[in-house]
């Protein structure tokens, strides 16, 4: 097979398979009613951050999402999650939207 043809097939293969490979690394098997989720939600509620969604996967990784008014609020939410016992990692998908 010629080099150009081989390269073309690699590009096609990468374009078709690449998005699925990325999605597999960024997805999680979430646990419903995880004790970690409950702890993080309680801490966030104490700081009046009820608009942030919290999910926890089976590995103890926490996923945060939602919208906040400032980057400092988003950073505080991440810090709160990281400081919670049992949390192995925090993935933040919190959006900052100024009112």
Domain of 56: which CATH number?
3.30.1340.30
Low-confidence ranges of the chain (pLDDT < 70): 1-28, 99
What mean pLDDT, rounded, does the chain reach? 84
Residue of 67, 71, 69, 64 lying closest to 89 (CA atoms): 64
Residue 4, classed as helix, strand or coil, is: helix
Query: Per the structure, how many domains does the chain have?
Result: 1
Range of the domain at 87: 35-96
Return the beta strands (E) in the chain as ranges: 52-56, 61-68, 89-96
pLDDT tens track for 69-92: 999 999 999 999 999 999 999 999
- Look at residue 14 and tell me if it is in a domain: no
- Look at residue 21 and tell me if it is in a domain: no
Radius of gyration of the chain (CA): 19
- Look at residue 16 and tell me if it is in a domain: no
CB neighbours of 18 closer than 8 A, spacing ≥ 6?
none
- Look at residue 72 and tell me if it is in a domain: yes
CB 40 within 8 A of CB 55: no
């Amino acid at each position: 097979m010629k080099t150009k043809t081989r390269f073309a097939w690699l590009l096609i293969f990468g374009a078709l398979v690449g998005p699925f490979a990325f999605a597999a690394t960024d997805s999680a098997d979430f646990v419903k009613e995880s004790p970690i989720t409950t702890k993080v939600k309680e801490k966030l509620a104490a700081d009046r951050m009820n608009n942030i969604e919290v999910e926890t996967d089976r590995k103890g990784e926490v996923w945060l999402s939602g919208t906040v008014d400032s980057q400092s609020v988003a950073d505080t939410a991440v810090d709160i999650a990281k400081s919670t016992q049992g949390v192995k990692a925090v993935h933040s998908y919190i959006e900052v939207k100024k009112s």
